[in-house]
Structure formats: structure tokens, C-alpha cells
Amino acid sequence: MAFSTSASRVSLSFECRSDSNLSGAVPRPDDARFSRNLNTASGKAPFGMCSLILRFPPNFVRQLSNKARRNCSNIGVAQIVAASWSNNQPPSSAAAAAKAVDAAASSAVSVPIAAGEDVVDNSKGLGLCNDSKFVQFEAVEDVHKPLILNGDGSVAIHAGERLGRGIVTDAITTPVVNTSAYFFKKTIDLIDFKEKRQVSFEYGRYGNPTTEVLEKKISQLEGAESTLLLASGMCASTVMMLALVPAGGHIITTTDCYRKTRIFIETFLPKMGITASVIDPADIAGLEHALDNHKVSLFFTESPTNPFLRCVDIELVSKLCHAKGAVVCIDGTFATPLNQKALALGADIILHSATKYLGGHNDVLAGCVSGSTEIISQIRNVHHVLGGTLNPNAAYLIIRGMKTLKLRVQQQNSTAQRMAELLEAHRKVKHVYYPGLKSHPEHELAKKQMTGFGGVVSFEVDGDLTTTIKFVDSLKIPYIAPSFGGCESIVDQPAIMSYWDISQSERAKYGIHDNLVRFSFGVEDFEDLEADVLQALEAI
């Protein structure tokens, strides 16, 4: 239950009730911290003899002891006074302070209640009990006035939070709401919810206030109507496909992609009669052939791809697919929303493994899909059945990580570009794969649809499996690990990290040679990374 005494401030949502364990005015008159603020000129408490405990929303109240809640009561009443002061000249006496409170109370709606009746009403404002009446502070509309945020960096920091969030609090950081379910006060409230006259998350799998803040932030950054957060990037990919491709449907995807995505398309979807056409990322003729010869439901690819960083002409592909009624989903994990706006280029859905750049600290697993409300609602409905829910603590970590998204990506873009150029010129490197290089097959396309080329560089060392292992082991700064996009640099040899379970000849079919290295540059100083890579190359 929210209250407000000015158009510029809203305090915590809470309720009040009487407490038989307390007597007299609230707080104690002998408490110097509060007596000046709350006592009237006559020395009596402005709210009479009815002691108050301010009850926070159910996800908080169970974690508070009775004593802690009494303290919260004092804080809440003090906020009323402070809010009144903010619209007037600072009072010079206790009487002036009391006058401000009385003015706020007299301007509110007074509603009589029967003896013993619960004065709490979640649909209105804060009830302050005074004998047989309570004061209702009406909530003002749109207290979070829109800010002018033109830059992606500002949007990544403030969207979904300063621009307005469902959790009403004065805290700068978004609270973590740890709850698995949400209660209804009366059965009629449940019926209103079921008939869509009232809004609730109902159950933890269907949503969470903390997660919703992150969804709004990503939506604004991507220019999307809606975003759905899931437990991982793979969860986002699989749920999206299951939601949008009917049994017996057809998918078009590309040769270069994350291996686990390929496994799902090749081994799981056929069980539902779903077939796939696999084309080169630049093969427009192959795309048109597949569209003409199949009833295609979905075109799905990464851009840039993993691990060769191939780029798809998103605008052209979207135009061709839409003409045939197919939905276009781009996995933009390597690009990030800062380097590429896939929805603006014509795609219907943008997907991310938020584990990577969005989280940015190698400490959380998450995935997301963004697009129109209509399409994301279809995916959301399947998600509600399958699960794969993102924990609110993980959502908080990503919200925190996104505050520095622009700073991190700018540094990673710069480092990767300079390292790609250095590696391409080195005698012990056979080939470098990076969209920022003129030698990349889609360099001109990348320049057209990207504003930065990302922090991952793939390259082939001049040597065999053993030589490449020696290079990787000689590096001092990066971790040998999967994943990418974090503050720490990470290096891996795909032939071992991702494809070790299949033969060398099978790996070669996907272009995965034993000397291939994928290097994700973090935010370390460029000079340190440069020296480390050069010494490791000299060691082979």
C-alpha cells in the first residue's frame, strides 16, 4: 500500500495496524531523534494514542522481528514529515513540523472504520489510525517522470529502475525479492486476477519483481516491446524454438553456431518431426531455396557466429523470411545490444546468453529473448510450462553488471581490434577471424550493421594440437575456461573444450581444427595482454 505527500517522492509500500504491546504516542517523547519531528506544540503525538506498526509487503514482513518493525514504523512516520518539509520552507520549530504533518493529513481522504475492523486496504494508500478513523494518502500518478536518456550507456544504467520500477523504494539499487509465491488477500482478489482485472505474479515461475526490472532494462536497450528472462542462454534458445516451431515445421539455421544449439536442432527437434536446412551465413541463394521449398517457421542464427564470428545480413534475411511468413531470431550474444541492434535491422527476436556480456562478471547464468509483446507472450506461455526460471538473485547480479556494460564493451572492443591486427601480422599465426579486420569475409557488412566488433577473437596458430596447447599453457593472464564476455580474459582451444568427444575428422567438418584458439578479451590493460600473448607465441 503506497502513500505520497508530494509529486516528487514515493516511499515504501506498507500498511499499518495497532499493536497492543505498545501504549502512548509513537515514538517515545523522550527520544530526542524523533520528539522534534512528531510531537505537536502541546506535546502530544499528532496521531493520537493509537500505536502503529508499519507493515511492509509480505516478501519483507516475515523477515522482520517485532522490534525491527517498530523501528520501521518510526522511519516511515518520519518520512511523512520529511516529504512535507520538501514542499515547504524548512520549519524552525517543532510546532512548524507538526503543522506540516497536520496539513498533509487534513488534505487527505478520511474514511471511517468499524471497531475491530482491519484498517489495511492494499488497493488504496497508507492508513494511519486515529481513534475510529484513518488517514489515506493518495498515491500520485507517474511519480517517476521520464528522463531523457539518449545513450545506450545511460539506458543500461537507469532503464527499468530510475525510469520507474514496480518495487516502490527509495533505495538506489533494486531490491532482491526472494519469494516463491504471492498471496491474495481475499478469494475475490484471486478471481479478479484470474479474470484479468487485477495484476499479480501469482507464482515464482511466472515472474518476479526483481526479474521484471531487468526485463524492462533489456527491452529498452534493445528497443523491444517485451523481454523474457530464463535460466540460461540455451534455455532461452530451446524454449523459443519449441514455442514458435510447430510439430512438422521447418527451421533454417547456419553452419557456424554454438555446438549445443546444433545438437538440439539435429537430435531433439526431429523427434517432433521438425526438420532443418543448414546454410552458410552468407548464402542468400541457399536461404531463398530453403524458403521456396519448405514451410519455414523460423530462421535462427547467431551474428556474429561462434566461433568464427561470421555475420549475417540481418536486414536482407529478415526481408526474405518475412515475405514467406517466417520469424527471424538473431542470437546477438557476441555483438551485445551496444554493438548491434538486430530488431532495428528487421529481426523479430533478439536472443542473448546474459551469462556473457550482459552479466559481465563470470558469476551468473541467464538467457533472454526480446521482441514484440505478441511473440514474447507465446514464448512466455511455453516457459511457464517448462520452467527454467531465473533466480531473482541472478537477476540482481545482471542488473548490477549492466551498469558498467558500456564501459566494459568499449574496452573489449578496443582491445580485441588491436589484438586482432597484431595477431594477423604475427609470423606464428596462420589466420585470424574477427569482423573488424578487412580480411574477414563479412567486414563491410559488419561495418554497416555494427558499431563495434566485440571482444572475442578466434585465430589459428601455425602448428598442430600440441603446439597450440603449448601456446595456451604459456599464457599467464587469461583463464582456460568456456564462456566469454566477462571482465577476466578467457582462452580455450575449441577442439578440446567443445569438440573433444568427437574425432578429428568429424571436427574438421565444422571447421574446428586442432590449432584453433578462441580468445575472449576482458578489461585488463591492453599492454599487459599484448605482452602476454607475444611471449606465449614466442614460446612455441
Number of Cβ within 10 Å of residue 151's Cβ equals 10
| 152 a catalytic residue | no
User: Taking a C-beta distance cutoff of 8 angstroms, is the pair 472, 460 a contact?
Assistant: no
Closest CA to 241 of 263, 279, 274: 274
**Is the distance from CB of 279 to CB of 308 less than 8 angstroms?**
no
Q: How far apart are alpha carbons 514 and 16 in whole angstroms? A: 68
Q: Is the preceding omega at residue 307 within 30 degrees of 0, hence cis? A: yes
Half-sphere exposure of 495 (CA within 13 A, CB side): 23
3-state secondary structure of 244: helix
User: HEC string of 417-468?
Assistant: HHHHHHHHCCCCEEEEECCCCCCCCCHHHHHHHCCCCCCEEEEEECCCHHHH
- Per-position DSSP letters for 3-48, written without gaps between them: --SBTTB-----EEE--TT--SSSS-TT-HHHHHHH--TTSS-TTT
Partnered with residue 133 across adjacent β-strands are: 112, 130
CA separation, residue 417 to residues 51, 96, 412, 428, 519 (Å): 65, 64, 8, 18, 12
Distance from the Cα of residue 356 to its chain's centroid: 12
Measured between alpha carbons, how far is 368 from 254 in angstroms, rounded to an integer? Answer: 21
Question: Known catalytic residue: 331?
Answer: yes
Beta strands in 81-188 (DSSP E): 109-112, 127-130, 133-136
Contact 328, 348 (CB under 8 A): yes
User: Which residue in the list 152, 256, 313, 331 is annotated as catalytic?
Assistant: 331
CB 40 within 8 A of CB 95: yes
Please identify which of the residues 216, 341, 356, 408 carries the catalytic annotation.
356
**What one-character-per-residue DSSP string does 270-315 give?**
GGGT-EEEEE-TT-HHHHHHHHHHS-EEEEEEESS-TTT-----HH
In terms of residues, how long is the chain?
Answer: 540
> Exposed/middle/buried for 220, CB within 10 Å: 0-12, 13-18, 19+?
buried
- Report which of 456, 455, 467, 483 is spatially closest to residue 536, judged by C-alpha positions: 467
Which is nearest to 432 in space by CA: 516, 352, 532, 366? 516
- Which residue in 258, 357, 433, 499 is the catalytic one? 258
* Residue 447 appears among annotated catalytic residues: no
Interatomic CA distance for residues 504 and 512, integer angstroms: 9
Q: Which of 17, 124, 133, 205 is catalytic?
A: 205
Examine the residue annotation and report whether 499 is marked as an active-site residue of this protein. no
Is 229 in contact with 211 (CB distance < 8 Å)?
yes
CB atoms under 10 Å from CB of 54, counted, come to 24
Q: Which residues have a catalytic role annotated?
A: 205, 258, 331, 356
